Amino acid sequence: MFYTDRLEEVPETIHVIDKNLRLLTLLEITETQYEFPLVLPDEHSRSVKEKLRKIGYDGKKKLVVLNVGAAWKTKRWFAENWVELINMLKPQDLFLLILWGNEEEKVLAEEVKEKSQVPLSPDFSLKEVMALVKESSLLISGDTFALQVACAFFRLVVGIFGPTNPGRNGPFSPQDRVAFHEMECSYCYKRSCSSLECLKKITPKEVAALSIQLLEENA
């Protein structure tokens, strides 16, 4: 009851950034450009580079970050799919790195590491994760923090989307790619699901093809 100006209802089909920008129309401001003038202190970039150097990254190869974690179980792709994807990307002469967040995500990441022999990311602070993503040539990720950071820094992204709408939550740059299969139950935004059919439909071959195509187009 304390609001004096209200915006007409904005459809959930548009990107959430555009949805928020439309609030400015109440001030007679029209803005459609997505810009994130994020500035990271150099110390975080230096710290990340040093930690990467210790696990074998010398900066000569393209850094591809595989973000296997997500807060919701329904957003987490399966370990066996990550391993198969990694095996398809290995011939591309890239430096692959598995990124994780909390301890639950680390369990998944360690399983992928054991089966793929790809290094696990060191312990990073939140700002260091942002610096890592900024350092990368490509991020492959579900709908989670790292993906949004990559988009903000205009890094190449391949998104893996299950229960959430990539048109609303996904990468917004025309150059980016999304692996998503619309189903009758799509856009459910459920945090638990007995079938996870939306994630099962996304194949490693599909994600590998999108990733390689994106890297080649931006060589």
Looking at per-residue pLDDT, the higher value among 67 and 103 belongs to 67
E strand or H helix at 65, and its extent?
A: strand 63-67
Is 28 inside a domain boundary? no
Please name which of 174, 163, 200, 194 lies closest in space to residue 70, comparing C-alpha atoms.
Answer: 163
Is 14 inside a domain boundary? no
Is 190 inside a domain boundary? yes
Residue 124, Cα to own-chain centre: how many angstroms?
Answer: 17
Q: Cα–Cα distance between 75 and 111 in angstroms, integer?
A: 17
Indicate the number of domains in the chain. 1
Is 102 inside a domain boundary? yes
CATH number at residue 208: 3.40.50.2000
How confident is the model over 10-58, as pLDDT tens digits? 888 899 999 999 989 999 998 888 888 888 999 999 999 999 999 999 8
Is the pLDDT at 87 greater than 80, yes or no?
Answer: yes
Is the pLDDT at 1 greater than 80, yes or no?
Answer: no
Is 19 inside a domain boundary? no
Is 37 inside a domain boundary? no
How many other C-beta atoms lie within 10 A of the C-beta of residue 6?
7
How confident is the model over 139-196, as pLDDT tens digits? 999 999 999 999 999 999 999 999 999 999 999 988 899 999 999 999 999 999 989 9
Is 138 inside a domain boundary? yes
Read off the pTM. 0.92
Is 8 inside a domain boundary? no
Compute the average pLDDT of residues 196-209: 97
Pick the range with the lowest mean pLDDT from 24-33, 94-103, 123-132, 195-204: 24-33
Range of the domain at 165: 56-217
